[in-house]
Amino acid sequence: MVFNRKGYFGRYGGCFVPEILMPALKELEEAYFSLGKEKDFQEELDYYLKNYAGRPTPLYFASHLSQKLKGPKIYLKREDLLHTGAHKINNTLGQVLLAKKMGKKRIIAETGAGQHGVATATACALLGIKCAVYMGEEDVKRQSLNVLRMRTLKAEVIPVKNGSRTLKDAINEALRDWVTNIETTFYVLGSVVGPHPYPTMVRDFQSVIGKEVKRQIMEKEKRLPDYLIACVGGGSNSMGLFYPFYKEEKVNFIGVEAGGLGLNTKKHSATLASGERGVLHGALTYLLQDKDGQVRLTHSVAPGLDYSGVGPELSFYKETKRAKFTTVTDKEAISAFFLLSEVEGIIPALESAHAVAYLKKNCSQFKNNLVVLNLSGRGDKDMCIIERFLKEKNNE
């Protein structure tokens, strides 16, 4: 396999961190590859995934959408039905359970839009462990509902006043906390990014998605799908879907990034489609930077896709052409958001709507193909963004 002990996928990944963080990452690596692989741990995690989070999620044949798009036979993997409304809970339950087994007394996390913060606070409330979430001051203002959810779950939300007061500054602040409190504290990362072992560990926790799809599609169609499609922010829902099919060479992977206002505007988050190689948050990967090497601010109508990096394993998939990466714009995503809501009665998260938009735009290319699309989350959280969009449209 492409993975080795140092966490490289081809040339991507690794562990580019200040020396002071190395002991904590070493401890985590050892714990994950021993405790995390034990039967007891797996059984306990499976118990919570099933009885608490709501797994397995359905693989739903979207007959109306398939008919409307007149090309592919489309199945939706319903991660939107999980507790807290998205796939993120698969990962936070795994990491928080591991933290408890390691005897850690305190969890920290960073969050942008607040979804990962809520999923972490939820797992901490369930498993009875203290939780602090770093969040940029700008995001605290923009995402007041999620801040209230976290506080209701008894997490401490710490506004970060540095830099652009958004996600990347929150990550830096969380790392600073970790360095100071290494003995007692576990850092729960929200996607397949960061230094080794996070990209591998988060991918493993999310792989439950692809494993279920494999079993479910064989039951329903007696064959593997032609295409797997997922949106890509940091890359965890896409890796979770793709990874169990890695060796099935006939199964094609498509990752859809946020094209925002268009690739020529710089207001987008299309890391793999238009970025360069570099080191971000401890890993060698693709990222968006300006000509001076500063990390660029990103934009997407979907809060969860608004990140300037991407998981190193997806960079490897790009380089080896195992997956294809593409983009759709904010407008195309919003149009797909309404389409899925109207024809299937499923209001998708704006992130997931990017994947739907790609299929909608290119449906003629998928004639008679069997397609599985990962519906990573539900759209309740995005209704204010939609309201604003409709108001602006009416004023035009």
How would you list the strands of the sheet with 227-231, edge to edge? 59-61, 73-78, 370-375, 227-231, 252-258, 323-328
Comparing CB distances to ligand PLP, the nearer of 71 and 301 is: 301
- Identified catalytic residue from 73, 88, 104, 360: 88
| Annotation marks residue 110 as catalytic | yes
Binds ligand PLP (CB under 6 A): choice among 191, 300, 308, 327: 191
Residues in the interface with ligand PLP (CB under 6 A) total 18
308 lies in the binding site for ligand PLP (CB under 6 A) = no
- Identified catalytic residue from 110, 173, 212, 313: 110
Tell me how far apart the alpha carbons of residues 295 and 67 are, in angstroms, rounded to a whole number. Answer: 43
Comparing CB distances to ligand PLP, the nearer of 197 and 235 is: 235
The owner of tokens 């070493």 is: 26
The one segment of 14-22, 169-177, 287-295, 345-353 that binds ligand PLP by CB under 6 A = 345-353
| Annotation marks residue 274 as catalytic | no
7 lies in the binding site for ligand PLP (CB under 6 A) = no
45 lies in the binding site for ligand PLP (CB under 6 A) = no
95 lies in the binding site for ligand PLP (CB under 6 A) = no
The one segment of 94-102, 226-234, 246-254, 384-392 that binds ligand PLP by CB under 6 A = 226-234
Residues forming a β-bridge with 347: none
| Annotation marks residue 376 as catalytic | yes
269 lies in the binding site for ligand PLP (CB under 6 A) = no
Q: Which of 96, 82, 92 is nearest to 117 (CA)?
A: 92
Q: Which residues are near ligand PLP by CB under 6 A?
A: 86, 88, 115, 191, 231-237, 304-305, 349, 351-352, 376-377
Catalytic residues, by residue number, are 88, 110, 376
